[in-house]
Chains A and B, each alone.
Chain A
Amino acid sequence: MKLDYSLVTRRTFLNTLFGGWVATFCAGSLYALWRGAFPTLGKEPDFVVLNAASDYLEIPPNSTKPFAWGGKLGLIFKRSDNTVVALKGVCSHMECNIVYKPENKRFYCPCHKGWFDEFGKNVEGPPPKPLEFFEYRVEDGKLIVHKQGIKVELPKA
């Protein structure tokens, strides 16, 4: 039924009204489901504080010691020339943990056979990027490992 002065029929008007209501309902529900399906993402830490710095810094040359970088693996690594560095022990290819091979003086990823040299450069296999290095300093016997270019100040106790 269409009144003379009306632009649309009553049926069109009601269908549009109802359709709009259904569309809004669906969009709202989908948005809520989408939000609910995602947790609040954490982020990687900017720094970690390790007790007993000497445990980490006094490892034998040509070896590594693991620490927890958030949920990921971090490594303190003493090269054969006694320089100590901190790096993320995660392969730049598919995020597998890497392992140091002292006999080759290289880091190795067992997942897809990737190799990195002592300076973290990807030298063989699929890894597309070098390893990520951190900076560190010792304060009150504690080892503070932090991302490059980040300033960390611990609260004074």
Chain B
Amino acid sequence: MIETENLTRKFGSLTAVENLNLQVNEGEVFGFLGPNAAGKTTTVRMLCCLISKTSGKARIGDFEVGSEKDCLAIRKMVGLLPENVGLYESLSAYKNLDFYGKLYEVPLQKRQENIERMLKLLDIWERKDEAVGNFSKGTKQKIAIARALIHEPQVLFLDEPTANLDPEASKTVRDFILDLKKEKRTIFMNTHNLDEAGRICDRIAILKTKLIAVGSPEDLERGTSNRKTVVHLESVSDAILAAVKKLSAVKNVRTSENKLILDVENPEKDNPELVRAVVKAGGDVQFVTELRSSLEDVYLKLIREAEAQ
């Protein structure tokens, strides 16, 4: 649904996005992570035809980003939730949505139905005629999300969708995004919230001007560091330590209280042998668990590596 090939944007001597190659599939929730000024918003703006690209190619569906004749079609098929909600504070929630519905050429009856459905879903229907300026940040964010969806776009770009929300409102928005995923909408989400990205994104890309990594949250967690096996014992003895150190699959071992923390090449293959060796050396095994890097660890590691280069 979204495809970029060496997509680059420069502002004078500053390169905001460099040779970005991405492919986002239809119906996918795609997370776009990166520090401030990594080029995330610039990428979204290029893909929404708001700013031009310096070089490279990008397509949304069948349309070419940057082509003057395709830009209106792209804007019609995408919805955008920008970083700043940008609602008209003196107008009501209903009038804000109605205005955008008209600009997106949604017929009157459909527009009324969509506004009612979304405001009810986001629990704002009772306050539909109140000026937006009276609402909390979280409620404004919800209205802005409804605005991005007023024309039922095939592709939705969300820039920090839960940035201003309390935990309950964040969950409402997350659940809403997951509902949209069920409707096979493609969602491209810029976020700093790694926990949220891990929970709702099918795949994640990490950007720092250049693309650093892309994959599912699980792949990223596994792929960037050695997987560790943790063996919880009643007590750790020298004999047990000696026994596990003899195993060729074990690259490193350390202890922490009554736990052995081991670097193993292939846990699925090597762990049974490891457990047998521990038991044979007199160890009483209580639990065997895996110690994975969190998405946060992966993200910080990759960003630091990119900064060091």
**A joins B in a complex:** no
Q: Which positions in A face B, CB cutoff 8 Å?
A: none
